[in-house]
Amino acid sequence: MAENRRFLLVRRPSGEPVPEDFALVSGPIPEAPEGGLVVRNHFISLDPAQRGWMDDAPSYMPPIPLGDPVRATTVGVVHASNNPNFTPGQWVMGLNAMEDYSVAQPGGFTMPVDVNAVASPSNFLSALGAVGLTAYFGLLEVARPKAGETLLVSGAAGAVGSAVGQIGKIVGCRVIGIAGGAEKGRRLIEDYGFDVAIDYRGKSVEALAADIREAAPDGVDMVFENVGGDVMDAELLNLAHNARIVLCGLISEYNAPEKVGIRNLWRVLTTRSTIHGFLIADYADRFAEGGAKMAQWLGEGRLRVDEDIQEGLENAYDAFMRLFTGANTGKLVLKIA
């Protein structure tokens, strides 16, 4: 019998989420509201930002209410529709939740996607979704790279970081990536074409800073920051004058009950650098432009965006936690249908 399984947030995590913060429940498939639709979710995007939404803290989106399913971007098929713009059977993506079936209200973020144009519908959650667009607009519009400049990327083997580094190479930059472990370093060089890979694991701020200095003796012109904490402190010790830091994520801090913080902000002052808080949502009116360019580079083989596809809503917790253990090897997606 068809049912709607839902992965609920039942308690706000204190630091690292534990299984008891969530509950998998089952209920009836919802009906389409007046003017809205019901989406059968096939692929669920698992993103660090979801951890922030679990906290009861001011942010760019309201916290996920306790008892609600965990908010997520999904790609799926229209199951029922009371909206003339959507037809059952049609593929769509939208801001829904970690559940089999989501209700999409009229005027929401749901939009049709052309799955025939891509290798897998999940691509709309990676290269052609928020991940790819974050890399595209964050690097090209916020950092504004010039050919010959040096770009430093943290979380470089991650979905966003690996795309940022590749786009940096496309536009003529020297690209240095920071990631954890030898295997990720190998992927940076061999799979994504970075010039230098630096392993942060087991290193003090000073030791990591020394490694960056060796790779970029004149300092780095741009930092694409996905990590924060000690990694960012080491980066700040290596800024060139007038460096631009794109503040895209601080994943090392999201689960930290006591945040490590940034101690080397004085280097931003002495180098006259700038830190730019960046959210991809602000570029919504240019998604088509960015998506077209990413699709072109993918088609030309100049860009590679890996996906780490986990399966089954019953594995939602374990899949989500791969974001924080460094286990994921590409854009993390949960396939549920």
Residues of the shown chain interacting with a second copy in the complex, contacts defined by CB under 8 A: 52, 58-60, 228, 237, 247-250, 253, 259-263, 265-266, 268-279, 282
- Decide whether 59 or 296 has the Cβ nearer to a second copy: 59
- For the bound state, the minimum distance from the C-beta of residue 47 to a second copy, rounded and expressed in Å, comes to 14
- Decide whether 256 or 337 has the Cβ nearer to a second copy: 256
* Rg of the Cα atoms in the chain: 20
- For the bound state, the minimum distance from the C-beta of residue 279 to a second copy, rounded and expressed in Å, comes to 6
Give the chain's largest Cα–Cα span.
Answer: 65
- Decide whether 120 or 264 has the Cβ nearer to a second copy: 264
The distance of Cα 308 from the centroid of its chain, to the nearest Å, equals 12
d(CA 181, CA 98) in angstroms, rounded, equals 31
- Coil, strand or helix: which one is 63? coil
- For the bound state, the minimum distance from the C-beta of residue 98 to a second copy, rounded and expressed in Å, comes to 22
- For the bound state, the minimum distance from the C-beta of residue 151 to a second copy, rounded and expressed in Å, comes to 19
Nearest alpha carbon to residue 175 among 156, 191, 158: 156
- Coil, strand or helix: which one is 28? coil
Nearest alpha carbon to residue 222 among 132, 144, 134: 144
The residues, ordered by sequence, that sit 6+ positions from 183 with a Cβ below 8 Å of its Cβ are none
- Decide whether 269 or 288 has the Cβ nearer to a second copy: 269
- Decide whether 60 or 302 has the Cβ nearer to a second copy: 60
Running DSSP on this structure, what letter comes out for residue 69? B
- For the bound state, the minimum distance from the C-beta of residue 206 to a second copy, rounded and expressed in Å, comes to 12
